[in-house]
Structure 1
Amino acid sequence: MGHLDHATFGWLTPALSYVMACIGAALGLRCTVRALGATGRSRRNWLITAASAIGTGIWTMHFVAMLGFGVSGTEISYNVPLTILSLVIAMAVVCAGVFAVGYSHDRARALFLGGLTTGVGVASMHYLGMAAVRLHGHVTYDPVLVALSVVIAVVAATAALWAALNIKSPLAVTVASLVMGGAVSSMHYTGMFAVSVKVTPSSAVLPGATAMQFIFPLAVGLGSYLFLTSAFVALSPTAGEREASASAQRPVESATAH
């Protein structure tokens, strides 16, 4: 058996991956709240932004955490197409979940469907990301822990969507995103503890790209996307602020008309 190390850089990768998950969650919840206050194309755009933020946050969290994943006795590399597919799936499934909530008239059903879809999406992203791992040896999973990680993902997603629908104050959104970040991280590490690797030492070159060649630049790019979008969303006026500024201009117009 290969000894698995989930934090080859010490606490840096778990802490950083948790931060990424929280930023994605906070941004996603903020956008979902904004979407519910908007209509038409504006609502659709906010929902797409929310889904891309949550999807990117989850994916970046997973692969930043994976940067700290090591197995004694073997190098690790990643299959590039599968890794990219895991990102696309994370985005698409979260998008479906967020839209279910944004456009449904029945709150309870929307939450159930949205939470289930998003949770399963998070889990499938995780295990596809794991399927992209290439090493000298054989990877097996503990089915009980795998099932537990899927349950955690579904519960976390449902809780996050519930928060998006019911919470408006900035403090509450912050708390909700810290909780969701924690839930996504615990789902990740539960899924990682389900892994055991039987190493077959070999000097052959592994197919795929190393984490530093591929995962690291992609994570940095997506992380930058999250920060920039957060800044944009934080600075764009809410519906209430737009109405206030519009009504402030009206008396001036009517005064100049006389």
Structure 2
Amino acid sequence: MEGTVDGFRYGAVTPVAAYLMACLGGALGLRCIVRTLLDTQARKAGWLALGAASIGSGIWTMHFIAMIGFQVEETRIRYDASLTVLSLVVAILVVGIGVFTVGYRGASSATLAVAGVITGLGIAAMHYLGMAAIHLNGDFDYDPLVVTLSVLIAIVAATAALWAAVTIQGFLMSLGASLIMGVAVSGMHYTGMAAVSVHVHDAGGGTWAGDSPTSLLLPMLLGPVIFLVVAGVVVMFDPLLVLGDGDWSRGAPPRRADSTAPAEPPAREPGALFEAASVSARGAQEPRWTSSRERGR
């Protein structure tokens, strides 16, 4: 028989929390990538890796917070822990491919297209791999057209996120971009969930292994959430990322001259330096020559 699928078991709590986590991961990822644009020589690979991990963790956390509100009324739900962890690894790796590609090769149309497709397919793979981790007394069926639509949304969202990461540098603009990213990623998730229907087996269909959503997802979500908080602290206290909006596009802040240090004279051509020395010497001797002539008179 057909199962009764409900993706909003706790009302608006899970979709709002999921959206906020997607926005947080996107905002931190954008700030980390902007950091490599402000100072390209300082730990670029490290900042790109932190950005990829932030975006990937945000997307994964969004997915499984939303899945806490998923239920099929006629059967219990269990989760396979290994596939759940694997989906997190896939999310971070594929986002990392896109971020590093754009970070090192720039934001040309061809680069964005390739990186966006790879990252979007990876996000979709993370979603459906997370769905494969679900065990229940039944089978999932997917509407192919809606699945295709969800994958297209993931590709467009990934491409837009990568473009924003290397194009938008102002804090407020990046914040707006992260809010749009949250809408896109959450839209992809709930579009994918709209493709799901469940065919439930008979009550005596046997048992299945796995952990309940509360016993697995809540403790597992704690790690990525703590990581995002730590990443947020790193981003907030980085010197180049606390500048005003007017300084984003000028790269690293200019070095201030020390008021106690002696000012260096401006550089002169060798000929000009010789002439200045000659004029200075004549000027210094002129008073002594004049005074001696006056004494001779």
> d(CA) in 1 for partners of 2:121 and 2:70?
23
> CA offsets, 1:10-41, max 9 Å, x none?
11000000000000001111111112233356
- The structure with the larger Rg is 2
Q: How far does residue 210 in structure 1 lie from its aligned partner after superposition?
A: 1.2
Unaligned runs of 5+ in 2: 244-250, 264-297
> d(CA) in 2 for partners of 1:9 and 1:240?
38
Larger proportion of helix: 1
Aligned pairs, how many?
255
Q: Which residue of 2 aligns with 1:216?
A: 218
State, as a whole percentage, how many aligned pairs show the same letter.
46
Q: Which residue of 2 aligns with 1:28?
A: 29
Q: What are the equivalent positions in structure 2 for 1:1-258 lying under 5 Å apart?
A: 1-40=2-41, 42-105=43-106, 107-202=108-203, 204-238=206-240, 244=253, 247-248=255-256, 250-252=257-259, 254-255=261-262
> CA offsets, 1:131-165, max 9 Å, x none?
11100011110000000000000001111111112
Any idea what SS the aligned residue of 2:222 has? helix
> d(CA) in 2 for partners of 1:113 and 1:243?
30
Q: How far does residue 103 in structure 1 lie from its aligned partner after superposition?
A: 0.5
Structure 2 length as normaliser, TM-score?
Answer: 0.81
Any idea what SS the aligned residue of 1:73 has? coil
Kept after mapping to 2: 8 A contact 1:73/1:201? no
Unaligned runs of 5+ in 1: none
Q: How far does residue 105 in structure 1 lie from its aligned partner after superposition?
A: 4.4
Any idea what SS the aligned residue of 1:60 has? helix
> d(CA) in 2 for partners of 1:206 and 1:106?
47
Kept after mapping to 1: 8 A contact 2:54/2:228? yes
Tell me the amino acid that sits aligned with residue 251 of structure 1: D
Structure 1 length as normaliser, TM-score?
Answer: 0.93
Kept after mapping to 1: 8 A contact 2:83/2:130? yes
Kept after mapping to 2: 8 A contact 1:4/1:71? yes
Tell me the amino acid that sits aligned with residue 138 of structure 2: G
